[in-house]
C-alpha cells in the first residue's frame, strides 16, 4: 500500500483529527473558484506583472461575488509565473502548481489542520517566491508527512523553534502583505509533501510540466484535508 493511500485511509477513518485551515462558515460564507490556467483570458500579462493591479483584480472578483475566500490551483498549469524570473531560469520554465491557494485579505488567520511539530521555516524573499514560509511535520501513527504554508506574514515565523509542538486547531500564522509574501496578492499557498528530500524552510510549489508525475506523486491533493475546511 502506498503512503498516499495510507494517508487517505487514515484521514477517512479519523476525521476528528483534522481541523479547518481557515475560518469558514458554510452557512454564511461563499467560496469563489479561481482559475489561473491558460484558458483564463480575463487576466492580462500586464495586470499579473503588477502586484497592486493583480491584487485589485483578486479583491474585486471576491467582492462582486460576495465571497470572503477564493480557492484553487492544484495541478493547474499557470502562465502567471512568467511574472518572476524565479520560474524562468531553465530551458523549460516551471508552470505546474503543486499546492492549493486560498485567496483572502492580508491578516487572515491560519490554523494547524493537524497536530505536529515545526519542521522548518524561512523568509524566501525573492520576487515571486513564498515570502515567509512555515513547514510542519506530522506523524499519524508512524505515517510521517509534511504541510507547507507559504506567503505568510513575517510575524508568523518570528520567534519560532524547530521541533516545537503544534496542536490541532492552533493558530499558526496569518496571510502576509506584499512585502512579506513574495510580492503576491494576499493568499495562502497550502501544500502537502510526503518526502521533504532534504529541503529546509522551502520546497518547490511549482514544477516543470515534464516532471509532473514525480512531483504530484510526492505532493498529494491538499483537498484530502481541505474538505474539512470548506464543507
pLDDT of 103-113, one tens digit each?
999 999 999 99
Q: Which residue has the cell 491578516?
A: 107
The answer as to whether 75 is a domain residue is yes
Supply angle C-alpha 108, 15, 223, rounded to 5: 55
The answer as to whether 133 is a domain residue is yes
The answer as to whether 217 is a domain residue is yes
66: left (phi > 0), else alpha (psi -120 to 50), else beta?
left
pLDDT band at 21 (very low <50, low <70, confident <90, very high): very high
User: In which domain, by residue range, is 8 found?
Assistant: 3-226
The answer as to whether 231 is a domain residue is no
* pTM exceeding the 0.95 threshold for the entire prediction: yes
pLDDT per residue over 66-96, tens digit each?
999 999 999 999 988 989 998 997 789 999 9
The answer as to whether 10 is a domain residue is yes
Q: Please count the structural domains in the chain.
A: 1
CA–CA separation, 116 vs 91, rounded Å?
A: 38
The answer as to whether 141 is a domain residue is yes
CA–CA separation, 190 vs 180, rounded Å?
A: 16
The answer as to whether 142 is a domain residue is yes
Answer for the pair 192, 226: CB distance below 8 angstroms, yes or no: no
Amino acid at each position: 500500500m502506498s503512503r498516499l493511500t495510507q494517508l487517505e485511509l487514515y484521514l477517512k477513518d479519523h476525521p476528528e483529527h483534522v481541523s479547518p485551515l481557515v475560518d469558514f462558515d458554510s452557512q454564511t460564507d461563499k467560496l469563489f473558484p479561481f482559475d489561473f490556467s491558460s484558458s483564463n483570458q480575463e487576466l492580462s500579462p500586464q495586470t499579473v506583472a503588477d502586484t497592486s493591479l493583480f491584487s485589485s483584480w483578486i479583491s474585486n472578483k471576491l467582492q462582486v461575488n460576495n465571497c470572503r475566500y477564493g480557492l484553487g490551483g492544484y495541478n493547474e498549469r499557470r502562465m502567471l509565473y512568467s511574472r518572476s524570473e524565479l520560474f524562468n531560469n531553465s530551458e523549460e520554465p516551471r508552470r505546474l502548481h503543486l499546492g492549493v491557494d486560498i485567496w483572502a485579505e492580508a491578516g487572515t488567520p491560519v490554523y494547524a489542520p493537524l497536530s505536529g511539530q515545526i519542521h522548518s521555516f524561512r523568509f524566501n524573499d525573492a520576487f515571486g517566491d513564498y515570502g515567509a514560509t512555515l513547514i510542519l511535520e506530522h506523524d499519524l501513527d508512524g505515517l510521517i508527512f509534511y504541510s507547507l504554508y507559504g506567503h505568510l506574514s513575517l510575524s508568523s515565523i518570528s520567534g519560532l523553534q524547530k521541533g516545537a509542538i503544534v496542536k490541532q486547531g492552533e493558530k499558526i500564522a496569518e496571510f502576509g502583505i506584499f512585502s512579506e509574501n513574495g510580492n503576491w496578492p494576499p493568499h495562502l499557498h497550502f501544500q502537502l509533501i510526503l518526502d521533504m528530500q532534504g529541503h529546509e524552510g522551502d520546497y518547490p510549489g511549482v514544477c516543470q510540466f515534464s516532471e509532473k508525475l514525480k512531483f504530484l506523486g510526492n505532493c498529494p491533493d491538499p483537498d484530502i484535508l481541505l474538505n474539512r475546511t470548506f464543507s
